[in-house]
Amino acid sequence: MTHPFALDMTESGWKEWCTAQGAKPFLGTQILEWIARKDCNEPEKFSNVSSALRAKLIESFDWSLPVIDTLLPSGDGSEKILLKTKDNLFTECVLMPSENRVTLCVSSQVGCRMACTFCQTGKMGLTRHLSRGEILAQVIIANQRLKARGESRRVTNIVFMGMGEPLDNFEEVVSACEVMLDERFFGLSKHKVTVSTSGLVPAIEELGRRVPVSLAISLHSADDEQRSGMMPVNKTYPLTALKDVLLKYPVQTRHGITFEYVMINGVNDSIAHAKKLVKFLHGMKAKVNLIPMNPHPGSTMVATDPERMREFQKYLTDRSIPAPVRYSRGQDVSGACGQLASKRKDELQLAPRTVALARRREWLETRR
Ligand code: SAH
Ligand code: SF4
């Protein structure tokens, strides 16, 4: 019999379990504190829990974390962590320490079904959602990695910008965010947990009602026809519907909603595009992150050159829209935005489909 994954358990789930064992329900909160405050997945170390209950915890749950398959340190100090799930699938997160913060980019799915043309994860298609526990495991593993690197810091900022569309895996992502924000557990500030979405309008509305996280919208074009060509989601939820829901969103940060704008040479980077962008943003408190397109094997799209990028940026800032240029970290190890496709070191130059076929062969081997 397979045991339930301990990290999938919510606080109320732990309390009910404790009650069913004849123990006090508050111990349920303490168990989750060990996991999500002390990054500890070894019940034998839960010193404020009786030895009898510890034994039951060990025999009743699966306490293992996804296995670290490969660590890919980047020249810029970030580190891509390739993880293997229990069913032998690969997922990844990227740890990005800087002077005053430690940001972790987490995945919410294995692959993604949104099929954005410029994104390598989109080329993989969706294999499956990650569970709440598999999302939280990335934070615990990152904190354990920091400790192993001799750092006394823990993760301070989390961005859902790894593999997957977080709002396509809504309940698991919301449940993980609740633990990230709870001051008894990971205790991160609501300004420091950011959910990035391609624009699933009904889910954005529901997110605003459910959990106070910061929101980032992957916009990339303010022209409906062009955006639909780049991001199929726009055919279902066009720009007017997106703007309507954003105008009502309970904003968490000083600068309002963040818009991600990947600058692709000759595609969406002219002043005419900037004009449309300004028009779309009218009436919203917004910041635009300009991200030079990260190249990947099998794609002809490349980044806008710096001069043109500056002109685009100036057009926005002259109209009081903050528009920093953001170079994604971890490019040398395919750890940058849009480059995540579960690759090992020797596979970085391969197209996602080639890797997917290799993975399938590997997976079939494990079932023999
Ligand atoms: N699915 C979510 C979050 C994961 S993608 C979303 O789309 O928002 C994280 C960010 O990387 C998004 O802003 C996405 O548009 C961007 N991205 C995708 N491909 C990219 C590429 N090739 N270069 C730069 N950024 C890219
Ligand atoms: Fe999915 Fe985001 Fe990539 Fe689009 S940009 S395919 S939504 S991961």
For residue 126, pLDDT beyond 80: yes
Q: Is 1 among the domain residues?
A: no
Task: State the Cα–Cα distance between residues 368 and 360, nearest whole angstrom.
Answer: 13
Number of the ligand 2 atom closest to the C-alpha atom of 120? 3
pLDDT in tens, 164-223: 999 999 999 999 999 999 999 999 999 999 999 999 999 999 999 999 999 999 999 999
* Ligand 1 atom nearest to 165, measured from its CA: 1
Judge if 199 and 301 occupy the same domain.
Answer: yes
Please state, rounded to an integer, the average pLDDT across all residues of the chain: 92
pLDDT for res 324: 96
For the annotated catalytic residues, the residue numbers are 92, 337
Query: In which order are the strands placed within the sheet that holds 286-292?
Result: 67-73, 79-84, 90-97, 102-105, 157-160, 193-197, 214-218, 257-263, 286-292
Distance CA 86, CA 65 (A): 9
pTM for this predicted structure: 0.94
Q: Which residue has the higher pLDDT, 292 or 2?
A: 292
Percent of the chain whose predicted confidence (pLDDT) is above 70: 90
Q: Ligand 2: does its nearest atom lie under 6 Å from the Cβ of 165?
A: yes
- Is any ligand 2 atom within 6 A of the Cβ of residue 161? no
Domain containing 21 — which CATH number?
A: 1.10.150.530
Specify if 74 maps to a domain. Answer: yes
pLDDT for 295:
87
Q: How many domains does the chain have?
A: 2
Q: Compare 348 and 171 and report the one with higher pLDDT.
A: 171
The answer to whether residues 152 and 212 belong to one domain is yes
Ligand 2: residue of 91, 107, 110, 114 to mutate (most ligand atoms within 8 A of CB) is 114
> 16 and 121 in one domain?
no
> Which residue range is the domain that position 52 belongs to?
6-60
How high is the pLDDT of residue 209? 97
Cα separation, 212 vs 216, in Å, equals 13
Ligand 1, atom 20, lies closest to the CA of 338
pLDDT at 337: 64
Q: Is 121 in the pocket of ligand 2 (CB under 6 A)?
A: yes
Residue nearest ligand 2's atom 8 by CA: 164
> Distance from the CA of 242 to the center of ligand 1, in angstroms?
17
Beta carbons of 92 and 81 less than 8 angstroms apart:
yes
Does one domain contain both 82 and 48? Answer: no
β-partners of residue 263 are: 292
| Predicted local distance difference test score (pLDDT) of residue 298 | 81
